[in-house]
Structure 1
Amino acid sequence: MGENSQQIDIKQLLSYCDDLVGVLRDNRTFDVLTQCVEQSKSIQSFSDSDFNTTQISISDYQKKIDDCKHKIEVARSEVVSSEEIDRLQEELKEELKKERLLREDLREIVDKINDLDHQRYSIEEQSQRLKKLEEEQEKEQRKLSFYASVTKTIPNLESKSKISGHIVERDKKAVQKFEFDPLQEDAFDICNKTWKMINQ
């Protein structure tokens, strides 16, 4: 190839590589969000079950309260003893207390369900953002592959302090390693040396 066909901005190439490294390192966030989604589903299922059980219990206690009221009315109509009436009223108070506690439990369950819905919505938003990041990652990988095929250069993305990689000559079946220290050489010299290796 001629020199004109290989004039690619090495700084832009390195910038794309750095961006790709940043995206690739965000995979842990995706794993954490996936675990959160699974936990949210489990808690949601448990809360729904608890909610239904509490509703049934409230319904049962309401029936008992209605029975107590009916017994009191029957007792009054039959002019039963005051001791019996007091006993029934105490029973009614106990049932009302239990119903109040159950309603408080139900309120807490409803609050938890609402909180879980909010968390699920937030997780879904984050999942959509991660999906976009994955699409961008694939796009950057394709760009990197394109640049590697044009420049015959495969950068070492693991190295943070140095610019390094390999130049691959398929025709010659040769691989040449390169490494530059930005602290010891300026960007212009590094760029020139890289192009010389590519054009060899």
Structure 2
Amino acid sequence: MATAEDDYDKLTPEQREVRDKEDRAREEAEQAALPYTWKQELHEVDVRVPVPKGTRARDLNVVLQKKKLSVGLKGKEPIMAGELCKDIKLEDSTWTLEDQQFVDIHLEKVNKMQWWENILTHHPKIDTKKITPENSKLSDLDGETRGMVEKMMFDNQQKQMGKPTSDELKKQEALKKFQDAHPELDFSNAKIS
């Protein structure tokens, strides 16, 4: 049976543009109908739930669990409630009441390398393949990730200039040290790979 993705591959660029536009409009309408708004980055999700103006924190019933979220006014049906689409780090997730009219919920993702399709599993999904992440700065990254990215960038630059990568430079340096320590050995036919 053909899937929507198979059909998409068979479309002309013009037909794809029309389909993408229709999909975006449908997605935006579905998201606008939700009783909250949300945005995400790879490592976190922020949800904003409007509540009646003048609401106090003590009037709220907010439940945050590893895989569950519920927001509402005490004694009333929740505004939103259900199973989260992915797990959250409970100890790093918070909620606050802003201007007595919005509940702002910050959710830290357990899997920081995955986009969420929705907040609650029973709500409409977005197409995560069409997410364009904001450009991040190297300074935003943790030390280990930053080091990896810088190494990859250096190696890519070196390759483009026909020069050795950082790993190849390390091997050459190790061989030179070994040659200096053992001048009696002949390395003229040595190949480094």
TM-score by length of 2: 0.24
Greater strand percent: which structure?
Answer: 2
Task: Determine which structure has more spread, i.e. the larger CA radius of gyration.
Answer: 1
TM-score by length of 1: 0.24
Greater helix percent: which structure?
Answer: 1
